[in-house]
Structure 1
C-alpha cells in the first residue's frame, strides 16, 4: 500500500469526492491499479490526519506539464497518457485537481489564488516545482461511494 500526503487545503475536496487524483513526480514506487492508497494531510508531522478511508487506485498514467511566464495562466501545456489537453480541457483538469479559486479562498495562501483554476494551478506548480517542465504520473482513485 502506498501513502500520499496533501496540502491541508485539498482535504475537503478529497473528502467530498471532487478530487480523485494526484500528480506526483517519478519515484521508486507508486500505487498499482487495484491497490488501496492511503491519503493524508500533514504526513510525518504531529498533525497527520487520514483524509478518507483507503480508496482503490484505478489508473496510473504518465503526465507532462509545461509552464511559461509568457502567458498569464503560467500553465502552458498538459499531456496525459500521450494526449495533449486543449485550453478548455486544461481548465477542467485544473478544477478536478483541486484548483478552483472559489474552493480555495480563505484556506489556501492568497498569493496562490488566480482568476481561473488554470492560473491557480500554474501558480502552485511554479512555487512547488522548479523549472518549466514536469514529468510524472497521475494516480487516480475510485470516487467516494463507488
Structure 2
C-alpha cells in the first residue's frame, strides 16, 4: 500500500471530495489501480494525521507539467502519457480537480502555477497523476 503526504491546505478539499487526484514525482512503485492508498497530512512529524479512510486508486498515468519562466504564475502546459495536451479550459479544470480554487482576480490555474513555482520551479516536471475514489 502506498502512503501519500499532503500539505494542510489540501485536507479540506480531499475530505469534501473535490480533490480526488494528486501529482507526484515518479517513484519506484507508484500505486496501482484497484489498490487502497493512504492519505496523510504532516507525515514524518508528530502532527501526522490520516485525512480519511483509505480510498481506492482508480488511475495512475504519466504527466508532464510545464511552467514557463517568462510567465511563472501560469501553468503553461499539461500533457498526459506523452500524447494528450490540455488546452486552457482543460488546464483550469485540472487545477480545480487538483485542489486549487479560483479566488477574486485569480484563476485556479494561476493558484496552481504559483504553488508549482514555490515548490518545483520553472521548467518541465515529469511524474504521475494519481486518482482515487472514496472507499
TM-score bucket (shorter structure):
over 0.9
Within the candidate set 116, 134, 138, 2:107 is matched to 116
**Matching residue of 2:65:** 65
- Structure 1: where are the runs of 5+ without partners? 103-112
SS at match of 1:47: coil
**Matching residue of 2:92:** 91
Note closer, same or farther for the CA distance 1:70–1:40 as it changes in structure 2 (3 Å cut): same
**Matching residue of 2:35:** 35
Q: TM-score, normalised by structure 1?
A: 0.86
Asked whether 1:13 is paired with 2:13, we answer yes
Task: Describe the superposition over 1:24-64 as per-residue Cα deviations: whole angstroms up to 9, x where unpaired.
Answer: 00111111111100000000001101001001101000100
Within the candidate set 109, 117, 127, 2:118 is matched to 127
Give the number of the structure whose residues are more often strand, by fraction.
Answer: 2
Contact 1:114–1:120 (Cα < 8 Å) also in 2: no
CA distance in 2, matches of 1:131, 1:61: 22
**Runs of 4+ off more than 6 Å:** none
**Matching residue of 1:44:** 44
Count of residue correspondences:
134
Shift of residue 74 of structure 1?
Answer: 2.4
CA distance in 2, matches of 1:72, 1:64: 16
SS at match of 1:125: helix
Note closer, same or farther for the CA distance 1:114–1:67 as it changes in structure 2 (3 Å cut): farther
Q: TM-score, normalised by structure 2?
A: 0.92
Task: Describe the superposition over 1:89-127 as per-residue Cα deviations: whole angstroms up to 9, x where unpaired.
Answer: 00011011011134xxxxxxxxxx971110110011111
